[in-house]
Amino acid sequence: MQQPFFRVPFAAEGDVSSIPVDLQPDGSISMRSGYGFDYERDQTTDPLAKDISRQPFNWLMNAVTQQLLQTQTLAFPEFITTADNGGTAYPYAAKAVVRYRSAVDQPWSVYISKEDNNTTTPLASGNKWEQSALFKSTSAQAVAGTDSETIITPATLLAALDYAFATRLPSRYLAGDLVITFGSTPSPGTLVANGAAIGRAAYPALFNRIGTMYGAGNGSTTFNLPNVNNGYTLVAANGTAIGTQWAGSILSHNHAASSDTQGWHGHDAGTYVAGNHNHGIQRAANDNPAGEFFNADNNNDFGTGYTNYAGDHSHGVWVGGSGNHAHNIFIGASGGSANLAAGMFVLHTIAY
């Protein structure tokens, strides 16, 4: 050090006598006058000459070196109380820095005056002092968030934020809130809504919120999460419908259907092949039309005749047209057992 270190204040163990502040009528030393002219007089010839007293000088030097030692070792001077200043509160300037403690059994803290002519005491109601942060906070202090005497650095802040995001994210949601994520795993503070049974004691806030609405678990120590199956959507509900599964429905409706109109037309038709056969005919008495047949009873009565055999053959049949018309069509059912919406699969989770 270029200046001396006052490791021990002057006259620390000597006898001292304090110097009065105000002027003394006899011209003795005071804080206002210091050593007056009488102390310069020739003590051998001038009866008004005064000796420089050892005890007041010791007191003065002790006070000066104590203050210097305080500044050298503590950097900031102690707060000046009203009693220290002769009954008047000292008016600190803005940015003045002092050390202060409210009682002898309390730790010292450093305070900075926030305005000029500041006569308040640090920690007083409506005080005008700002407690100064002098030390770098640790990660633990930054996470706890209760310390007001340390400075947080960018590195410590980042560590605290990482910890907060990893452990305090549930505070962003209320227990039971739906949280949807595009990730394949649930976010911190959430569980996949897959109907699993979880412990009531392990997740008290969630159990308090949803209870056994989605299942009672084992009936005593567990309860079930909501179960949002693949492909199912969540729909608005109120009252007693909340928490129930619904297969969905489609508004009742009909389907109109018709065939193309083909215009006036006929349809080909035919008989089944009946094998080689003949056909019987009847004729009137004495009626002998031309043709190849014979009279079975050869008399003039009515008789039955037969055509010749014609081999296997079919007979054409003509079906008459029925005008322009349509035909009824039956439409068969298709689809699955539930109404599922098209879209993208995303993970549905519940906050705890």
Domain ranges of the chain: 139-167, 171-241
Secondary structure element (H or E) that encloses residue 181, with its range: strand 178-181
List the single range of 35-39, 110-114, 297-301, 319-323 with lowest mean pLDDT.
297-301
What does the pLDDT look like over 212-243, one tens digit per residue?
999 999 999 999 999 988 877 777 777 677 87
CATH of domain 171-241: 3.90.1340
Beta-bridge mates of residue 348 = 180
Q: Tell me what pLDDT residue 288 has.
A: 53
d(CA 349, CA 170): 12
Residue 269 has pLDDT above 70, yes or no: no
Could you give the 3-state DSSP secondary structure of residue 165?
helix
* Cα–Cα distance measured from residue 292 to residue 299, given in angstroms and rounded to the nearest whole number: 17
Strand 150-151, strand 135-136: pairing: parallel
Dump pLDDT digits (tens) for 285-294.
Answer: 455 554 444 4
* Contact by Cβ (8 Å): 138, 153: no
pLDDT of residue 246: 73
Q: What is the pLDDT of residue 156?
A: 85
Q: Which amino acid is at 160?
A: A
